[in-house]
Amino acid sequence: MPTGTLHIDLEAVAANWRALDHLSAPDCETAATVKADAYGLGVTQVAPRLFAEGCRAFFVASADEGLELRRALGPEPRIYAFYGHMPGDTLTLKRADVVPLLCSLDQLTRHLETLPRHPFGLQLDTGMNRLGLKLDEWAAVAELALRAEPVLVMSHLSSADEPDSSENAAQLARFHEITDGIAVPRSLAATGGTILGPDYHFDMTRPGVGLYGGAPFDRAEPVVALDLPVIACFDVAAGETVGYNATWTAPAPARLATVAGGYADGLFRALSPGVDAMAGPVPCPVVGRVSMDLLTIDISHLDRDPETLRFLDPHHGIDALASKANTIGYEVLTALGRRYQRHYRGSVA
Ligand SMILES: *Cc1c(COP(=O)(O)O)cnc(C)c1O
């Protein structure tokens, strides 16, 4: 076994989608955000599983991601691209039947000139200040844009993972102000907004991270587990040091295991010290610096040398690992390396 094995539970992804779908009203459609290769987990596996579960609308970042997804899913589902209609996207959008979510006046002009009968959506900026027509731009072009019959109008919340943030209500109010009364389906909520409640759901929710087992969807079933093979086990004497810059000193004679995985595989250098790998139910601390492809783990307290050690077990999931590295579960997921063998449970692809 040359590399680690990343276990990806598509049954759990499907269960998480169903659970998020149950949170919203029957007349609100639950889509799925599968950008960045389904947050690193493999869009050609994840999306067909969600399609089999009943999901009929998918969000990706780029037109090219839309093309890959179209090939995986066939003609039926709707596919929306957050990057909108960029220079060079025209043919891809057309060929892959992807709906660009136009986010600027330039994009609106480009789209109406180059693909006048091709469906499009609109992104409005209600305060995130990242992508979307600003309020004054929208006021200036709303009439023209609506005459071209967009299929979706959406905005994105900046702070939906903080239920108490006043940003949420402020963005919701702005979204109402600028879209109430238009006869176009509306979407505001990703995972966080879906959990904030029905006021935020409108006609379609588009969760991403919650599908993959991440906060703020506390009730998500865990989706990933990572087993790393042990390459070598060895003893060190009290006072010996481990790894680059000799940052860890054995306080007593110790037995250590070096495993195949490191920061090039998404196990961030910032994880050490403070993170444990699991030998079955027994936590074993990572000692010394994380290297590019190697980690060293203290196994002194185990009865025998393990063959593999696990990261990301159900009790130490992506968000727990992320907090040790001062980041978020999203980054842990999307950083999971390409070198792992991927093992899918519940695949339909
Ligand atoms: C990534 C993204 C989503 C999904 O967000 P999650 O927090 O992962 O649920 C939805 N909408 C937009 C605009 C996004 O960029």
Q: Which atom of ligand 1 is nearest to the CA of 212?
A: 8
Is any ligand 1 atom within 6 A of the Cβ of residue 33? yes
The pLDDT, as a whole number, for residue 273 is: 82
From 46, 50, 58, 59, mutation site for ligand 1 pocket: most ligand atoms within 8 A of C-beta = 59
The pLDDT, as a whole number, for residue 2 is: 62
- Quick one: what percent of the chain has pLDDT higher than 70? 99
- Which residues are within 8 A (CB) of 142 and not within 5 positions of it... i.e. 6 or more apart? 178, 182
The pLDDT, as a whole number, for residue 59 is: 99
Alpha carbon of 27 to ligand 1 centroid (Å): 21
Q: Which atom of ligand 1 is nearest to the CA of 209?
A: 8
Is any ligand 1 atom within 6 A of the Cβ of residue 132? no
Residue 104 exposed, middle or buried by CB count within 10 Å (0-12, 13-18, 19+): middle
Closest by CA position to 224, among listed 96, 40, 30:
40
Q: Any catalytic annotation for residue 324? A: no
Is any ligand 1 atom within 6 A of the Cβ of residue 189? no
Mean pLDDT of 224-228: 97
pTM of the model: 0.97
| Separation of alpha carbons 156 and 92, rounded Å | 25
Listed by start position, the domains of the chain span 10-212, 224-316
| Separation of alpha carbons 47 and 72, rounded Å | 8
Q: What are phi and psi of 175, to 5 degrees?
A: -65, -45
Structure tokens, 141? 């072009």
| Separation of alpha carbons 338 and 234, rounded Å | 28
Q: Is the pLDDT of residue 243 over 90?
A: yes
Q: Is the pLDDT of residue 349 over 90?
A: no
Residues 101-134 have pLDDT tens digits of 999 999 999 999 999 999 999 999 999 999 999 9
What's the chain's average pLDDT? 96
Is any ligand 1 atom within 6 A of the Cβ of residue 188? no
The pLDDT, as a whole number, for residue 324 is: 92
CATH class of the domain at 224-316? mainly beta
Amino acid at 292: M
Residues 22-51 have pLDDT tens digits of 999 889 999 999 999 999 999 999 999 999
The pLDDT, as a whole number, for residue 195 is: 97
Q: Is the pLDDT of residue 1 over 60?
A: no
Amino acid at 251: P
Q: Which atom of ligand 1 is nearest to the CA of 33?
A: 4
CATH code of the region 10-212: 3.20.20.10
Mean pLDDT of 242-265: 96
Is any ligand 1 atom within 6 A of the Cβ of residue 156? yes
Q: Is the pLDDT of residue 274 over 90?
A: no
Q: Any catalytic annotation for residue 35? A: yes
